[in-house]
A and B are shown apart, each in its own frame.
Chain A
Amino acid sequence: KAGVTQTPRYLIKTRGQQVTLSCSPISGHRSVSWYQQTPGQGLQFLFEYFSETQRNKGNFPGRFSGRQFSNSRSEMNVSTLELGDSALYLCASSLVGGRPEETQYFGPGTRLLVL
């Protein structure tokens, strides 16, 4: 079974631009979560989608948004990029979410550099 895939793997943008990242979960997984990883803040939860609905949200400004499609694929968008948005963005999928024993499987991540 194929793992979680993320595209693109690397991105370089300039301040003020916007960016869209894509994530395809493991086949059959319906819950998709997004995390931001930076050296200073570590791993921070952005949001989680299930059945095309945002079910949970972390503490990030409205510039960060996402969506999920009927095939469970998910995209996240960051508008008006700031230097501090430079990070590794990780997508994770799980079957349905909401259970303590359910494992989240991660993709390879997208490295975003904002200049």
Chain B
Amino acid sequence: AQKITQTQPGMFVQEKEAVTLDCTYDTSDPSYGLFWYKQPSSGEMIFLIYQGSYDQQNATEGRYSLNFQKARKSANLVISASQLGDSAMYFCAMRDLNTDKLIFGTGTRLQVFP
């Protein structure tokens, strides 16, 4: 069965600094996709970045980048130059191909302080 593990319940970072949010995964599928979502207190789940298992390069989207280490089964999210508006819950997720559902980790609450 597929599983996503996020071991950091909470993280603090100072504005303008970089922060890494950890995510490890477990799957036996040779082809898979990993997603990161941001959930502010308003509740909406905002898609941030995607990494495919066969992608040769780490994904980047603006200030977001993914440190993908396939052999270690990790897909850590790096946020550069943190902003106050980055304070939110962050979820790592993987698609279950049998049911088409997204399997989420427990999330990491990021707080950015001035």
A56 and B32 CA atoms in complex are apart in Å by 18
Whether B104 lies near A43 (C-beta < 8 A) is yes
Main secondary structure, interface of B, reads loop
Given A42-B104, A105-B47, is A100 in contact with B52 using a C-beta cutoff of 8 Å?
A: yes
3 nearest A-B pairs in the assembled complex, by CB-CB distance: A45-B101, A106-B45, A100-B33
28 contacts between A and B (CB under 8 A): A33-B102, A35-B102, A43-B102, A43-B104, A45-B99, A45-B101, A48-B101, A55-B100, A56-B99, A58-B99, A58-B101, A88-B43, A92-B45, A98-B97, A98-B100, A100-B29, A100-B32, A100-B95, A101-B50, A102-B95, A104-B35, A104-B102, A105-B47, A106-B44, A106-B47, A107-B44, A108-B43, A109-B44
* Interface residues, chain B, with chain A CB atoms under 8 Å away: 29, 31-33, 35, 37, 42-47, 50, 52-53, 91, 95, 97, 99-102, 104, 106-107
